[in-house]
Amino acid sequence: MNLTLLQCHPDPRRLATWATRFGLTAGGDDLGYALHTLLAAAFGEAAPKPFRHFGDVRGLLAYSAHDPDALQLAAQTAAPDVYATLGLERFATRSFPTEWASDRRVGFEVRVRPVLRTREGRERDIFQIAAEKSGADEFDQTREAVYGEWLTHELARGDAAHIERVQLDGFRLTASLRKGNAAGGKRPAQRVAGPDAVFSGELSVRDPAGFAALLARGLGRHRAFGFGMLLLRPPATC
């Protein structure tokens, strides 16, 4: 298994122009779909996901299963407007670890969309679902607690990792644009509002192979649109 960490620095003005030109804004500041289309235009089937766009000096970070040389070649052969909008003149890659020791403790940060998809195809905020199940008079949990439990479950998929410490660093509701093809024709663009949460904390690796797969896959839904990238850093304590 290969995993590559890549970084580029999208130009804010060009990105806004690209999103407006192709109708890829969400009526707000979420440019996840616009970045999704740009990455697909630059890298084709090798388009990286999950990714995280910071909008500051950190630019855009992403994971890819393709090797650094292949990604560098794709970046150099991207169309001029795509190249300039993504800021690929400052494109950088490096191989990322795929082998982890069991019980290894690492710090993390992740932006997630804590929603569940219903049988009808709708996405619902898991906080609202929890409140409805408990009843308004009996429900006393915070968003941090409900989302933290959801995050714990996501990280524990396949016994990949266990959360040692977690905190909610930011929350807001954002509108995300979604397009696609439906049976019988094209599905119209939709602007869907939902929870947008940023967590940080520390975790311990349980299953090394499962943890490596989790990094490559990402957490939760909307992983191709700027959510779910698990960023790692040294733990605060040893």
- In the chain, where the domains are located: 4-95, 105-233
Lowest mean pLDDT among 17-26, 153-162, 225-234: 17-26
Lowest mean pLDDT among 59-73, 169-183, 194-208: 169-183
Residue 191 per-residue DSSP state: E
Q: What is the CATH number of domain 105-233?
A: 3.30.70.1210
Are 2 and 98 spatial neighbours (Cβ–Cβ below 8 Å)? yes
Are 114 and 220 spatial neighbours (Cβ–Cβ below 8 Å)? yes
| DSSP-H helix ranges across the chain | 12-21, 32-43, 68-76, 80-86, 126-134, 143-155, 208-217
**pTM score, whole prediction:** 0.90
| First-residue to last-residue Cα distance in the chain | 28
Q: How confident is the model at residue 182 (pLDDT cuts 50, 70, 90)?
A: very low
Q: How confident is the model at residue 180 (pLDDT cuts 50, 70, 90)?
A: low
| Per-residue confidence (pLDDT) for residue 183, from 0 to 100 | 41
| Per-residue confidence (pLDDT) for residue 185, from 0 to 100 | 41
Average pLDDT, the chain: 89
Q: How confident is the model at residue 39 (pLDDT cuts 50, 70, 90)?
A: very high
Q: How confident is the model at residue 118 (pLDDT cuts 50, 70, 90)?
A: confident
Measured in whole angstroms, how far is the alpha carbon of residue 21 from the centre of its chain? 24
